[in-house]
Structure 1
Amino acid sequence: MVEKVQYKVNDVVRMKKKHPCGSDTWTILRVGMDFGLKCNGCGHFVMMPRVKFEKMAKAIVTEE
């Protein structure tokens, strides 16, 4: 059985696709049904549904 990854606020995650600014790392600011993410390159903030986030997240870079 595959274990679910536990994401926490202030974790830095690497995504599969790059943001238009060129960065592929994001800081998690909100966790719940929706994830609040801030781009580490340009500071852009986005809200993303949990299902979409879990498909797009590749790895946790640093854990808080």
Structure 2
Amino acid sequence: MKEYGLGDIVEMKKGHPCGANSWKVIRLGADIKIKCTECNRIVMVPKVKFDKGVKKILLKAEE
């Protein structure tokens, strides 16, 4: 399992229709809320689906 936290920028396997492929994690829990870094659209994804869809962590948030 990949280690990600609140405020991290992650790359997903499937991109957003706007063309961006990077997302900012804005909420953690049973569902994970992510925000597109290009068009600022917010999407809620179940944790299991999010874990399978994360390709890599692009930028870790400041502690």
* Both structures adopt the same fold (TM-score exceeding 0.5): yes
Partner of 1:33: 30
Count of residue pairs the alignment pairs up: 61
Note the 1:1-64 alignment, pairs <5 A: 4-64=1-61
Q: Which amino acid aligns with 1:30?
A: R
- What TM-score do you get using the length of structure 1 for normalisation? 0.91
Q: Which amino acid aligns with 1:15?
A: M
Tell me by how many angstroms 1:44 deviates.
Answer: 0.2
- What TM-score do you get using the length of structure 2 for normalisation? 0.92
Identity in percent? 43
Q: Name stretches of at least 5 consecutive residues in structure 1 with no aligned partner.
A: none
RMSD: 0.7
Tell me by how many angstroms 1:41 deviates.
Answer: 1.1
